[in-house]
Every structure is written in structure tokens, then in C-alpha cells.
Amino acid sequence: MSKKKNKKMNQKSFYFEDYNYYSKGRSNNKSRANISEDRIYLLFFVFFCLISIFAIKIFATSLQDTNFKNTQNYYSSVFKPLRSDITDRNGEILAKNVRVYHAAIKPNLINNKKNFILKLQLLYPKIDIKIIKKNLEKNKYFYLKKNITEKERAKLWSLGEKGLLFETTQTRIYPHKNLFSHVIGQTDMDNKGISGIEKSFNRELWSHNKPIIMTLDANLQFLIREELIKFQKIFSSAGSAAILMDIHNGEILSMISLPDFDINKRETIDDANYINRATKGVYELGSVFKTFTLAGALNEGIVETNTEFKNLPKNITCAGRPIGEYDDKIPSDLTAEQILIRSGNIGSVRIAQKIGTEKMRNFLQNIGVLSKIEFDIEEVGEPVPFRWGKCKLATTSFGHGITTTLLQLAKGYSIISNGGFDIKPMLIKREIKENKKYRILNKEVSEKINPILRKIVSTKEGTANFANINGYEVGGKTGTAQKSFNGIYSKNKINTFVAVFPTSKPKYVLSVLLDDPQLSKDYIYHYKDGSGWKYKGTPYNTAGWTSVEVAGKIIEKIGPILAINRIDFYDNYVVKKSY
């Protein structure tokens, strides 16, 4: 019994164990199946989320405005120029960095070199194929063309050559080409300033701050240059220059020197004829110095405008050298005012002798015509030094044997006309505080000189009648001088005219210089006296027949821009907001 009972128990135990084993195996398989299903659901959920995200992104992108303007703005926001812009006083871009490309060739990536050369010939008919072939044979990386535009890059890319590569870089462009060449200057291939404003303000332009704003006005610059170009052809001059400046704050609105050049080409110019005649050229300027002589005497209280000078000879000598009048018709008895109006040489000598050497030298030094001027560009000439003496005092009184620049001449006339306040000519806009003005001449000098300058233009006795443009109240002084080469005077001339206008309330000075002008047989002069008279041909190679005519035409063109074409309008013109 016990054996049977044990056997049954054993069988039951075996059965139980067998049953438990089987049940446990099925349970494990079921758990594994559940885990697999969970993983599938999780993966499905992840993929579903990713697809949903991409779908939403695509849908959102499709709703955005993807026009060309937005694309252009995107690229402009990414592009960071190496140098700041340069603008004129009205925000007109004068210099700007832009994105360009260097097209390079990697010869070992070009399969059919002959075919590639034919493609290049079609694209660039004037290209030197011999150089391209040599570079391809060397099998070394070389540049096909530098500083190409996006449009040109697209054309080259369309050739479909793997060996044609493009490097992104920057270059400096000057939209106005020749218009500001002597003032703006230019940069080298590394975007470093090498002349003009680009050089003088190189550090500021690299700072990536605000644009540098110039005092120049692109519209005025264009109009004045057009007149200079026109008359350079008429008078066949070697070159010319003009400066328009505000006599109260020294801001230069226009500065031109011809011949000029396209600064985008970055050519090295060694020809001395391309010198900046407005700032770098140093000249004897002749009778324009007579205004300084009379102003100096008035400032010292030595003479008055009605002081008489009687029995003036037609000729005198100094150290054995003759000094004579340019016109024998000048009367022997003249007042100080008449000496300046008629541009008398001997009368100017007598006035200077009353001043004396030391006071005359100090006066010219104070108004800034004797020493090198500090300016916003480095291209500035230095007046030739000389030893003062009795004869030098005499010749200096009428602008002979003394040199200066056109820029310094404009500064001197500004001080004499603006009430005697010192100014600093400038090309860069700066804040100018009224309380920092310094008077270096007596106020009465301007009050007495300005009406005389007006009479030089408006009266028959004056030498600048062709600048008497109706409604502008132009005053000024002429200067005709012979050019000196190695101390020897030639027949070549420098003809100059300095205009101040309007003389009742002086605001601007315009200096015009013609270098070696010639007589014109065909040019027709129109008298400004209302008679309608005309005169064909230039009778005398003097400033009164050349530089004055140019200045008059310039004032006619720029007057509307300066908003002073009528004096009654100027009376209501807000000076602080003017050009």
C-alpha cells in the first residue's frame, strides 16, 4: 500500500511538475510576444511624430513669402563687409564693399581641355588663350579671372566643368567712377586704403561701425565737373580744378580736379598731370593775393577803403628787376578800393609797404596760406618757403613769387569774407559748435572787403564781369600768373578766380583754377549787362576771360541746388539746415 501510494504520489508530482513546466513556457512566450508588440507600437509612434513634424515644417515653409526680395535680404544679412560704406552728405553711396568671386581652374579635374578652351573662347573672345594653355599644361591650380560678379559666375558655372572652381571674396566698388577719384581715393586688392579718404580713414572704415559721411554733394560735384570738362575742351587747358566751400564751417561741398580717373580700375598712375590740383598742386596764383594785401592793411587800421594813392608810376624796380602794371590804362591816382577793383600792381605794392614785412607775413600766416594745411586727405601740397625782404614784400603784394594751394586760397577768402572767423576746411561731416569759433580778423574787414569784391564783378572797371549772374550777388577776384619751371618763368599760365556769394550775406566760396589754358577762336561770350551783346573768340589769355567765364557758368548751374537763386529767398533760408 505504501508503495502504491508512493507511486501515485510520485506520478502526481511528476504530472504536476510537467504541467507547471509547460504552463511556464507558454507564459514566457506570451510575455515575449507582448514586448515585441510594444516595441512595434513605440517605433510606429516615433516615425509618426517625425513624419508629422516634417509635414508641419513643409506646410509652414510653403506659406512663407519666398520672393526674390526676401532671398536678397537673407543674403545681405549674412554678408558682412570688410569696410564701412562712404556716403555723400545726402546718403548717396560713394564707396561700398560687395561680394564677388575668383574663378579658378584645377587642370587635373578637366577631362577635355581642348573643348574647355573652346568654351572659354566663346565666353571671352578677347581672352589670351596662350596663357590659359600654358597654365593648363603646368597642371597647377591657377586663377582664370578675379573679382567676377554673380552673373558672370553663373555663366562660367553653366559650362559644367568640375575643374572650374569659385572662391567667394569681397571687393570695393565706386558707383560714381571718376567723379570722386581724387577725394575718395582707392583700396588695394586686400581692401586696404592706399589714397584719399580710403587711406586717411582706413582704421575707421575697418571698424565696421557707421558709414563715413562726407560733406560733399554728389549733385553739385557732377554739375561742376561737367562744366570743367566742357571748358577744358574749349580752352585746351592741361588741367583744371574747383572747390565749393561753406565759408562759415569749412564744409567742402564739391572738390574737382581734372584730369581724373576711374578708381574702380585700381591702376597705378605715374603721370604728374593727374595730380590733385585742388589740394596737392602748389602754384603762384597772381592777383588773387591783392585781396589779402588790402585786407591786411584794413585789419591793421593802416588804410581805409577811400585812402588815396596819388601819382602811382606805371613801372618800378626792385633789386634791379622791373615791376609794372598789366594794363597801362590804369589811372595814376587811385583809392585803396579802386586799386583792388582795377587790380593794380603798383598800388598793391604801396599798400604792402605801409603794412611792413613782419605784419604782412603774420597776416598771411594767420589766414593759412603760407604753411602746409592739415586736411582730411594726405595728398596736400606745401607752399614753397622763401626769405622775406623788401622785394619779396613787394612781389607778394600782387601774388608773384609766393605759392600756395587752391584749397588754402579758398580758406583765406572764407576768413576774409565770413567776419574774420578762422575755419578748418573739411571733407568729413563733424559736429561744429558755434561757441568754438575764433575770430582772427577784425569784423570790419569783411564789411569793407565784400562790397569791393562785388564791384569787381558788377562794375565795368572790374575784371570779373562774366561772373555777374543775375540774382546771385557774386563777388570775387581774378588772378593771372605765369608758371615757373625751375625758377624760370614761362609763357604757360595759371588762371584763377575766387567767387564769394551772395556778398550781402556771404555763404559760399567758389575757387576755379585753369592750368595752362589757351585762347579759343570759336567760343562766344555773352555780356551780362542786359544789352545782349556777344563776342566771339578769346581776346586775352587772362583769368577775366577764362576762369571767370567758367565760374559764372558753374554758379548758374548750382544756384538752384544751393537754394539761393534769389536773394529774397535766401533771406528766409535757414543757414543751419542748408548745404
pLDDT 10s digits, 339-355: 999 999 999 999 999 99
**Helix, strand, coil share of the chain (percent; to 5):** 45, 20, 40
Task: Name the residue type at position 111.
Answer: N
How far apart are alpha carbons 433 and 430 in whole angstroms? 10
Residue 29: per-residue pLDDT: 53
Count CB atoms within 10 A of the CB of residue 388: 12
Do 184 and 93 form a contact (C-beta atoms < 8 A)? no
Strand, coil or helix: what is 472?
coil
Check residue 359 and give its pLDDT: 97
Single-letter amino acid, residue 505 = K
Retrieve residue 203's grid coordinates: 582704421
Rounded (10°) CA dihedral 22, 23, 24, 30? 110
pTM > 0.85: yes or no: no
118: its cell numbers: 573652346
Whether 510 contacts 502, CB under 8 Å:
no
Angle between helices 345-355 and 289-300 (to 10 degrees): 40
Determine the length of the chain.
579
Quote the pLDDT of residue 50.
78
Kindly tell me the number of DSSP H helices and DSSP E strands found in the chain: 18, 18
Which residue type sits at 73? N
- Pairing outcome for strands 239-246 and 308-309: unpaired
Domain boundaries, the chain: 82-180, 220-577
Architecture of the structural domain at 82-180: Alpha-Beta Complex (3.90)
- Spans of the chain below 70 pLDDT: 1-36, 38, 57, 59-78, 432-435, 563-579
3-class secondary structure, 515: strand
**Per-residue cell: 443:** 569784423
Q: What is the DSSP string of 157-223?
A: HTT--TTEEEEEEEEEE-TTTTTTHHHH--B-TTS-B-SHHHHHTHHHHHTT-SPEEBS--HHHHHH
Is 220-577 a CATH 3.10.105.10 domain? no
Contact of 258 with 276, CB cutoff 8 Å: no
